[in-house]
Structure 1
Amino acid sequence: MSNALVLQSDFGLSDGAVSAMYGVAHTVDPSIPLFDLTHDIPPYNIWEGSYRLLQTVPYWPENTVFVSVVDPGVGSDRKSVVVKTGSNHFIVTPDNGTLTHIHHSIGIIEARIIDEQKNRLPKAGASHTFHGRDIYAYTGARLASHTISFEEVGPIYSIDSIILLPLFEASLSHGVLTGMIDILDIRFGNVWTNISRELFLDLGMQYGDSAEVLIENDNKKVYKNFMTYGRSFADLCIGEPLVYINSLDNLAIAINQGSFAEVYSIGTGSNWRISLRKAPKIIYE
């Protein structure tokens, strides 16, 4: 029985690109369980592609094969790889930074360069602009269907050679917690950070306490204000900002029934920093 094959790309669904990848997979084996992670990664946004893998991969059964195609360097000399993660999943992708979050948080235990002489869609022609169809979907389907083993993907690739995007580690110093904005909860405009719940609670925060929040982009202040630490959005009135713990057990901030990211033009990446400190309680006499 084939393992699940999960596709991610920045292709969108307005043309036939994703459907062509489906077709290639089903041509390899019509019984492959085929799913989408997302095809709405902003064009060329390798960072977001990297994070969406981390957000999703751990919740799938072991040996699931992921194909991730966010590939602004298609046709260049960048490597095409398949990696086995510390969680026993496989990821088929260009080696361009897409593996950053997986490498950092889950780990990669082995990597192989795709042998494109053996693992390229037959009769694909001379095109070098649709590797998502001709190499990644094809190789991913062959791996998921057990047509090839991981060892048959191609030669071993040094894990130390994998290209990684810069990250900024969260830390707590002198009562100030600092991290980066990892990603946006796109549909609702919430801001997700890389600050773990455990590190946040080291501030001594309790539900209902206030935190002073500072957001900077390349050291330029974008936002500074006080907000309440809430268990959920229902703890605050509509329109109020809050600090909360998101579904990945990390710190996030939001506006109840509003888009914090849109209101304050928030972005993502290691140059977007967030700092918090516990606000002192004011006692009126």
Structure 2
Amino acid sequence: MTNHLLVLQSDFGLVDGAVSAMVGVALQEEATLGVHHLTHDITPYNIFEASYRLFQTIEYWPQGTTFVSVVDPGVGSKRKSVVALTESNQYIVTPDNGTLSYIKKHVGIKAVREISELSNRRRNTELSYTFHGRDVYAYTGAKLASGHISFAEVGPELPVDAIIELPVVETVFTENSVSGAVDILDVRFGSLWTSITYDEFHRLAPEFGDRFEVTIYNNDMLVYQNQVTYGKSFADVRIGQPLIYINSLYRVGLAINQGSFAKAYNVGVGSNWRLEIKTIA
């Protein structure tokens, strides 16, 4: 069952009318919808980031919430438009381009249906191929969130295993180290959020106050290497000092107290940015 809550995410930004048009379409369908925003500042075309931000947010919304995520560099192509029903009974309306990767891996997906544009596309938009966020996704999301259509009425069911998934960097262990990728930034503060989970890091039996050798590579190029303290919070080190910590998603983070680690060392994100944490003998 849906609950009249609609949450929008895109890479559109707020400098023009694109997001407002999506909201307007949703409210034309059902004026009583609660329309909310996850973010519209996804890096343009960055499907991985869209997938991660959904994962970061979705568990804090009630069951029955409908999410619309539009980061769609393939808009107008043959990529499918889908709605996924998660194991936590929420809906995600999105292109089938990898956006569902983190949800499938970490939340779970019960079922996926392809959006039938014959019945779930705004009227008189058939000749527009570049704004499916307004004409297909916001429209279908609003119909679903309001209960004007059921999940079954979205369109034909697809195998969950057939959805497109982005490649995932696997965590690598040695006797005294753990390695993963810099997945994403805590954007405003410049902290690095890695793919290494709390449990994976704790194979090294860390204690607060311990120091570890942290090495960051961009492909094969060494970008950073230093001894870094593991702390409970940023205030466990002096201002300007680096810190290993566990973030709100139970992943290993790397920060500078009251500074931006990403800017200080020109660190980017993605599978080519690798981070190793090693015990110090």
Match of 2:181 in 1: 180
Match of 1:41 in 2: 42
CA contact (8 A) 2:4 2:32 kept: no
Counterpart Cα distance in 2 of 1:134 and 1:246? 37
Match of 1:137 in 2: 138
Quote the offset at 1:4 in angstroms. 0.8
CA contact (8 A) 1:2 1:31 kept: no
Equivalences for residues 138-157 of structure 1 within 5 A = 138-157=139-158
Counterpart Cα distance in 1 of 2:220 and 2:161? 31
- Residue deviations 1:9-35 (CA, integer Å, cap 9, x gap): 000000000000000000110000110
- Structure 2: which 5+ residue stretches go unaligned? none
- Residue deviations 1:165-204 (CA, integer Å, cap 9, x gap): 1101224222110111111000000000121112212211
What SS does the aligned partner of 1:11 have?
coil
Equivalences for residues 1-285 of structure 1 within 5 A = 2-280=3-281
Q: How many residues align?
A: 280
More deviation in 1-10 or 74-83?
A: 1-10
Counterpart Cα distance in 2 of 1:22 and 1:146? 17
Quick one: which amino acid aligns to residue 209 of structure 1? D
Quote the offset at 1:269 in angstroms. 1.8
Counterpart Cα distance in 2 of 1:164 and 1:263? 32
Counterpart Cα distance in 1 of 2:182 and 2:23? 33
Structure 1 200/2 Cα, relative in aligned 2: closer, same or farther at 3 Å?
A: closer
State the TM-score, normalizing by the size of structure 1: 0.96
- Residue deviations 1:31-72 (CA, integer Å, cap 9, x gap): 001100000001111111110000001111111100000001
Counterpart Cα distance in 1 of 2:44 and 2:265? 22
Quote the offset at 1:97 in angstroms. 0.8
Counterpart Cα distance in 2 of 1:123 and 1:35? 26
Counterpart Cα distance in 2 of 1:102 and 1:273? 22
Counterpart Cα distance in 2 of 1:8 and 1:53? 8
Quote the offset at 1:2 in angstroms. 4.1
- Residue deviations 1:80-128 (CA, integer Å, cap 9, x gap): 0000111211100001111111111111110000000100012225111
CA contact (8 A) 1:216 1:273 kept: yes
Quote the offset at 1:271 in angstroms. 2.0
- Structure 1: which 5+ residue stretches go unaligned? 281-285
CA contact (8 A) 2:3 2:64 kept: no
CA contact (8 A) 2:3 2:65 kept: no
Counterpart Cα distance in 1 of 2:83 and 2:270? 25
Counterpart Cα distance in 2 of 1:97 and 1:134? 21
Quote the offset at 1:270 in angstroms. 1.9
Counterpart Cα distance in 2 of 1:10 and 1:150? 26
More deviation in 84-93 or 164-173?
A: 164-173
Counterpart Cα distance in 2 of 1:243 and 1:22? 40
Quick one: which amino acid aligns to residue 149 of structure 2? I
Counterpart Cα distance in 2 of 1:163 and 1:218? 25
